[in-house]
């Protein structure tokens, strides 16, 4: 009974085959025939070792409605980022003001903020 042969390919060999696919434009079938490697194995190597954009260029196709929606979302995102920056700055100013008041007057402003004008807590 003959022993089953398992082929092991070095990483350098795999990368070389993928480079032929990318740079020389060879098809998967041509590489399969040339090296005797299965189609599935070649596809795995291509997924693992290929560089994005060398063989194919990705093009995004959108409807005008999608494009307008994307622009609106990008504008909203920019507006929200600006608002977060403004609120963060305002918060830092308020925290600094509280710290200065507490230091200069020796009172705990944060605790006293919870009491009402008649001295009772709500």
Q: What is the pLDDT of residues 9-19, one digit of tens each?
A: 999 999 999 99
| 31-49 pLDDT, tens digit each | 999 999 999 999 999 989 8
- The answer to whether 46 and 40 are in contact (CB under 8 A) is no
Q: Is residue 25 very low, low, confident or very high in pLDDT (cuts 50, 70, 90)?
A: confident
Q: Of 55, 66, 62, nearest to 25 (Cα)?
A: 55
What pLDDT digit, counting tens, does each position of 66-94 carry? 999 999 999 999 999 999 999 999 999 99
Distances (CA, A) of 81 to 75, 77, 108: 10, 6, 33
Q: The pTM is what?
A: 0.43
Domain boundaries of the chain, sorted by first residue: 11-49, 64-112
CB 62 within 8 A of CB 70: yes
């Amino acid at each position: 009974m003959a022993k089953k042969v398992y082929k092991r390919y070095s990483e350098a060999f795999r990368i070389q085959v993928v480079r032929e696919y990318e740079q020389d434009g060879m098809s998967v079938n041509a590489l399969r025939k040339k090296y005797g490697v299965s189609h599935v194995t070649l596809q795995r190597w291509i997924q693992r070792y290929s560089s994005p954009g060398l063989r194919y260029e990705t093009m995004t196709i959108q409807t005008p409605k999608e494009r307008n929606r994307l622009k609106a979302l990008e504008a909203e995102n920019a507006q929200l980022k600006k608002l977060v920056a403004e609120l963060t700055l305002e918060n830092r100013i308020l925290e600094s003001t509280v710290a200065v008041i507490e230091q200069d007057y020796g009172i705990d402003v944060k605790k006293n903020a919870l009491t009402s004008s008649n001295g009772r807590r709500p």
